[in-house]
Amino acid sequence: MSALDTGWYPSLLVGLGYGEDEVEDRIRRTWKAMFFDPDQRIYHEDGPDRGYLVDTGNNDVRTEGMSYGMMMAVQRNEKEVFDRVWLWSHTFLQHRDGPYRHYFAWSANLDGTRRAQGPAPDGEEYFALALFFASHRWGDGAAPLDYATQARTILRACVHQGEDAPGDPLWDPATALIKFVPETPWSDPSYHLPHFYDLFALWADPEDRPFWLKAARASRDYLPRACHPITGLAPEYAEYDGSPHRAHWDYGHHHFFSDSYRVAANIGLDTVWSGGNPEHRTIAQRLLKFFSGKGLEDLKMYAIDGTPLEEPALHPHGLVATLAMGSLAAGGDLVQEAVDRFWRTPLRTGPRRYYDNCLSFFALLALAGRYKIWGPGSRD
C-alpha cells in the first residue's frame, strides 16, 4: 500500500535502529545549517519579502534549487521561507510573455538578472507540486500567493504551450515524456517523477488530468528502459527509447554523472508515495549492489555499464544520499549498508555543497518518514 492510499509514512531510519530523537535532531540541525548558518547556508534573504538559494558551485540562482527550497520549506512548515523563495522566483525568473510564458528562466545572477532565458523542466514540476502542497497546508492568499492557481498555470503551460502561440510544451505530446528542455526531442531520466504526476492528475485543470495519468504511466515504463539492465545506472540524458543521448557538446552526459544520481531518490519516493513497481525495485537493488563497498573517495563518473571513468564524482555526498533514498524501494540485505553510509556522511562544506546538501536533506526527510504528500484537508 502507498502513502497516497493510507497516509502512512514509516521511518526507515527508526526501523533500522536509529532513535527518533536522534533523527529529529538531525533534521533540525540540517535545516538550520542549510538555511541559517552563516558559514554553511545556501539560503539568503533579499529585502523585506524575498529570498533565494545559491548554487554555491556556480554562484547563481537556479530553478532547481529554488523549487527544491520551496519543497523543503513546505515539508518543514516554514511558510515565511517558502513565500520569500516563491516571490523571488515569480519576480525574477518567471516569464510573463513570449514562447516561454509561465515558464521560469533556469539560471540567474544573485541580483535577479537572468543568465539564461529557457527553462529546465525539473524546476517547473517541483514548483507546481510545492505550490499545491502550500495551498493545501496553509491555504491560498492574494496573487501571487494564490498557490493552487499558480500551480495550475504552470502545468497548463507545460502541456499546452505552443498550441495557439509560439512555444513548445515541456512534455512531449506523443510520448507523454518530459523533455530535457522545450526544444529538444530527448529526456533526462532524473526528471521523471511519476509520483508527482499522480498528484497532478488529482489537482491540475480537469481537462488535463488524463494527460498526467498518462505521463505517470509513461515515466514508470521509461525508467527501466533508461537504466542499465545489470548495473541500474542511468545516463544524464537519454532518448525517448531510453538509450543514452550524446549531446552535441559531448561533455559526457551519456554517462552516469550528477543528474543521474536523482533516479535512485525518485524511485525511492515513488515507492513510498505511490507504491512503486517491481521493475523499479529491481533498479534500486542493482544500484545498491553496484555501489556496495564504495566509500566517498571511491565514487566516480561511470559509463552506464559500470566502467569507471577518470573523472571523480562531482557530488559524492549527494550520490550517497540518493542511494540511501533508493533503499526505500530496494529492500534486502544492502539497505542497512546504504543507510548507515548515508548517516555517517556529514553535510558537505565548501563551494560544491549546494547540490549535495539538497539531495542529503531530501533523503533525510524521506528516510525519516517526513517527506509527505500534503493534500486537501491536511492543512495545519
pLDDT at 125 over 80: yes
Residue 23 to residue 307: CA distance in whole angstroms:
36
pLDDT in tens, 294-334: 999 999 999 999 999 999 999 999 999 999 999 999 999 99
Cell of 268: 525511492
CA-CA-CA-CA torsion sign (14, 25, 275, 359): negative
Distance CA 317, CA 295 (A): 10
Q: Cα 180 to chain center, whole Å?
A: 14
In angstroms, rounded to a whole number, what is the distance separating the alpha carbons of residues 370 and 357?
17
Cell of 108: 540567474
Place of cell 540524458: 237
All 3 cell numbers of residue 66? 529554488
| Percent of the chain residues topping a pLDDT of 90 | 97
d(C-alpha 295, C-alpha 297), whole Å: 5
User: How would residue 251 be classed by pLDDT, with cut points 50, 70 and 90?
Assistant: confident
94 three-class SS: strand
What is the per-residue pLDDT for 1?
Answer: 78
Average pLDDT over residues 142-155: 98
Contact 184, 177 (CB under 8 A): no
Distance (Å, rounded) from C-alpha 108 to C-alpha 60? 6
Domain boundaries, given as residue ranges, for the chain: 1-41+219-374, 43-170
Q: Is 1-41+219-374's fold the same as 43-170's? A: yes
Contact between 140 and 148 (Cβ < 8 Å): yes
Fold of the domain built from segment(s) 43-170: Glycosyltransferase (1.50.10)
Q: Which residues are catalytic?
A: 64, 259
Q: Could you tell me the pTM of the whole model?
A: 0.98
Percent of the chain having pLDDT more than 70?
Answer: 99
For residue 193 the three cell numbers come to 517523477
pLDDT surpassing 70 at residue 380: no
Three-class secondary structure of residue 302 per DSSP: strand
Instruction: Assess whether pLDDT exceeds 70 at residue 379.
Output: no
H-state helical runs in 77-146 = 79-88, 121-138
Which CATH number does 1-41+219-374 carry? 1.50.10.10
Angle at 86 between CA 260 and CA 60, to 5 degrees: 55
* Cell of residue 194, nine digits: 511519476
Q: What DSSP element (H or E) covers 308?
A: strand 308-312
> Do 161 and 179 form a contact (C-beta atoms < 8 A)?
no
